[in-house]
Amino acid sequence: MGYCVLIFLIGITGCSPEEPISEIKNFKAETAENFIAATLKISSGVTNHESGNYTISDFEDLSEENCSITEFGLVFFGYFQDFLQDPYFDFNLMNYYLDLHQKYVTHYRGENYFGENGEYNQLAQKRIRELTMFWNLRREIIVNGQHTASLDDLQILADMIESFDNSIRNREEAYNKAASLLKINALSSNLPESPYFALDAFTKANGLLVIGDGLIESIAAIGVDDEIVFTAIIAHEWWHQAQYEYSTNWNESQGLSKPEASRFIELEADFAAAYFMTHKRGATYNWKRIEDFFKLSFNIGDCLPQSNTHHGTPEQRLNAARLGYELVDIAQKKGFVLSPEEVHSFFIKNLERVY
């Protein structure tokens, strides 16, 4: 298992445990046209590819569920349009940066900050304390922030290159390559400033959680409060740690196809996140604020039910969040918190209300 919270575009959303947040990052784009086609699933009959003049009308129905692009998907579409219109944007360098950055945040251990300028530091500390007490898991959890600025910092970029670029033999070569890349960055308006370069949100079995600034910014761009976004991401990812801890006993996803198993795992994390966010001993969000979470949940659904990292359609993710909200009313007794086992059992018994 391994997840990534909410993320997304026509099928790109958080990832299940151990999976990178977006399938896009796993392919090598040799041309801008191939990149767009692989990412946005544009129909074969689209015209004007050479000019990069893609429009939403270029999209065909993407799934058996007739699910359509959300506001969040439109945010992604804007990033890709920006890439195509940037004369200095390099798709091969994009893939190189994405690979380096994901490896770096996975292995980094040290001081952390959250938000471009640390604006979520206090919120992060608060939520980490609350989630630790709320779920009472028997594991150490480490939360790393991911920042586009890291790819524009000579020291950090050289560290990444030296550590993860197998073609580099020593520190001097790493510095030289980093310096050369910074010159390209200076020419491009998207390398690495685009939120796409800090879009990760995933969980590892060793207790690691990663939250990218770009993901927070991208979801906030559709009108969801940024603190709700941060809380939803960390709460969703935290539940994946519960899934790791109880993996021996929680075996309902065994025997399912990879897409079905991924959907089950991710929708349960949405459900558990909503339970934490609305509980009086959790984030204590009221109805007005939880409506933002419902909007977020719908928007990060994906339309790729055959994908091995399918996270549920927009409607299913919304249903899961609503079910978690309802559980608080159904089970709350003077602030009593249900155990992870009880929360899991409730989700299983009410799965038909999600699907």
pLDDT tens track for 9-61: 333 333 444 443 333 333 333 334 444 444 443 323 333 333 344 444 444 44
Q: Is the pLDDT of residue 285 over 50?
A: yes
- Mean pLDDT score, 179-202: 97
* Kind plus residue range of the DSSP H or E element containing 349: helix 340-349
What does the pLDDT read at residue 41?
A: 39
What does the pLDDT read at residue 332?
A: 67
Tell me how crowded residue 142 is: count the other CB atoms within 10 A of its CB.
14
- Mean pLDDT score, 255-264: 90
What does the pLDDT read at residue 170?
A: 97
Q: What are phi and psi of 283, to 5 degrees?
A: -85, -10
Q: pLDDT (tens digit, 9 = 90+) per residue, 287-300?
A: 778 888 888 777 77
Higher pLDDT, 351 or 5: 351
Six-digit token string for 315: 């409607």
- Cβ neighbourhood burial of 157 (10 Å; 0-12, 13-18, 19+): buried
Higher pLDDT, 197 or 50: 197
DSSP 30: S
Look up the pTM and report it: 0.84
Average pLDDT, the chain: 83
What does the pLDDT read at residue 301?
A: 74
Residues in the chain: 355
Report whether 116 contacts 145 (CB < 8 A).
no
Q: pLDDT (tens digit, 9 = 90+) per residue, 322-353?
A: 999 999 988 866 568 999 999 999 999 999 99
Q: What is the C-alpha to C-alpha distance for residues 342 and 150, in angstroms, rounded to an integer?
A: 41
- Mean pLDDT score, 128-132: 98
Q: What is the C-alpha to C-alpha distance for residues 127 and 17, in angstroms, rounded to an integer?
A: 20
Report whether 134 contacts 199 (CB < 8 A).
no
Q: What are phi and psi of 192, to 5 degrees?
A: -105, 30
Q: Of the given ranges (49-63, 160-174, 242-256, 264-278), which has the lowest mean pLDDT? A: 49-63
Judge if the upstream peptide bond of residue 87 is cis by omega within 30 degrees of 0.
no
Six-digit token string for 32: 């801008």
Buried b (16+ CB within 10 A) or exposed e, 9-24: bbbbbbbbbebbbbbb
- Mean pLDDT score, 90-105: 96
Report which of 147, 143, 52, 30 is spatially closest to residue 97, judged by C-alpha positions. Answer: 147
Tell me how crowded residue 186 is: count the other CB atoms within 10 A of its CB.
10
- Mean pLDDT score, 111-140: 97
- Mean pLDDT score, 173-180: 98
Q: Of the given ranges (143-147, 211-215, 238-242, 259-263), which has the lowest mean pLDDT? A: 259-263
Q: Got the DSSP string for 93-159?
A: HHHHHHHHHHHHHHH--S----STTSTTHHHHHHHHHHHHHHH--SS--EEEEE-GGGGG-HHHHHH
Higher pLDDT, 35 or 173: 173
Select the highest-mean-pLDDT range: 24-28, 228-232, 315-319.
228-232
